[in-house]
Amino acid sequence: MARVFQRRGLIESWGRGTIKMAELAEKAGLPRPDIEVVAGCVVVRFRPSHYIAPQLVKKDLSPRQRKILQFLSSKRWGVARADIVRAVGGPTLAVRDDLEKLRSFELVVTDGHGRGARWSLKNP
């Protein structure tokens, strides 16, 4: 079958597609995909190069909620709510409500209580 596709010009050569995908991913500044053989099948996994906030979780996320997730993704350790408010803007109470919604969607977690609480992304 591959030979027929090659003769028709639909593919360059057998096995070249996976190499081409890796080259194009690297050229685009993305990590090379993981390629492995599992149970006789070739599996190609593309890994994201940075955190991408989900657009829909139980219901649409607001732009500020996506900004909060993006901000938290750039932090290695938990962040105080006051720092989040400064980073994303908006009224403190609105950001607090957004954080609570994100926690109810199981996207963020807190460590501690009150002013000492630290917010971070929930590990997948």
In a domain, 50, yes or no: no
Stated pTM of the model: 0.57
pLDDT value at 85 more than 90: yes
Rounded average pLDDT over 25-35: 79
**Residues across the chain:** 124
Q: State the pLDDT confidence band at 54, using cuts at 50, 70 and 90.
A: low
Placement of tokens 């050569």 in the chain: 13
**Residue 15 sits in the same domain as residue 62:** no
**Residue 70 sits in the same domain as residue 117:** yes
Please count the structural domains in the chain: 2
**Residue 107 sits in the same domain as residue 66:** yes
**Residue 80 sits in the same domain as residue 25:** no
Q: State the pLDDT confidence band at 15, using cuts at 50, 70 and 90.
A: low
Q: Give the range of the structural domain holding residue 64, as residue numbers without chain letter.
A: 56-121
pLDDT value at 57 more than 80: no
**Residue 67 sits in the same domain as residue 117:** yes
Three-state secondary structure of 31-60 = CCCEEEEECCEEEEECCCCCCCCCCEECEE
**Residue 30 sits in the same domain as residue 83:** no
**Residue 39 sits in the same domain as residue 62:** no
**Residue 69 sits in the same domain as residue 110:** yes
Question: Which of these, 49, 48, 86, 80, lies nearest to 67 by C-alpha position?
Answer: 86
In a domain, 91, yes or no: yes
Cβ of 70: how many Cβ atoms within 10 Å? 15
Rounded average pLDDT over 20-41: 81
